[in-house]
Amino acid sequence: MKLHAGLLAAATVLAIPGGALAADGDQFVIQGDASKVLNEQHEINVATAEAIGQACVEEAVKQGVRVSVAVFDQFGEPVYLYRMDGQGKIAIETAIMKAKTVLNTRLPSKRTMNEVLTGRSSELRQYSHGNFAQGGGLPILINGNQFIGAIGVGGSAGNLPVWSDEICAWRALSKVIGPQPAFLPDIGPGGTTERVRNR
């Protein structure tokens, strides 16, 4: 009986942090009647997608550059798309392709780029899988590992280590969602690691 009571108490203690973590992410996902209609409790809500997009635009304005931002839910459906004035079709399309690469891999789109640069994959092979081998796409995660969507940013010229489409997405996610994973290394010509950025 004591063992059963001890296990029950331990289970209760372990359940509290998990419940607290789940509650932390509730503000970013669809709630109430809308989630009941969808039979889905982890779909990014429009308010969060818009906040992330606008945070990225604000970062671009600070840098004096223009970007296009695409946010998709975890099922690959568009939730938010914004292009700053002066962005051409290719900038919009690359933002979308970077987000879709994240949807396919559940990893930053830079991972796909690094695989091509180090010879572990070819660009044609990645393209045949629907992936775009460029940085600028990041997963949107809550509670540590719950994937609720993807952001893709396109259209600005990189100025490493100060600026890139990926930095824009990372800063926006950090502002709206909270601390984000560290950047993957930048791979230079010949597959060499140039630097690891944490901004």
**Mean pLDDT per 10-residue interval, the chain, length 199 residues:** 40 36 66 67 91 98 98 96 97 98 97 93 91 97 92 95 97 96 85 57
Q: Which residues of 86-110 are buried (b: 16+ CB within 10 A; e: fewer)?
A: ebeeebbbbbbbbbbbbbbbeebbb
C-alpha dihedral sign at 136, 92, 44, 179: positive
Residue type, 140: I
Phi then psi for residue 163, to 5 deg, are: -150, 145
Q: Tell me how far the alpha carbon of residue 23 is from its chain's centroid.
A: 20
Architecture of domain 46-195: 2-Layer Sandwich (3.30)
Residue recorded with tokens 């919009």: 92
**If DSSP codes are grouped into helix, strand and coil, which group holds residue 133?**
coil
For residues 92 and 195, give the distance between their C-alpha atoms in angstroms, rounded to a whole number. 28
Sequence spans of domains, the chain: 2-38, 46-195
pLDDT of residue 37: 67
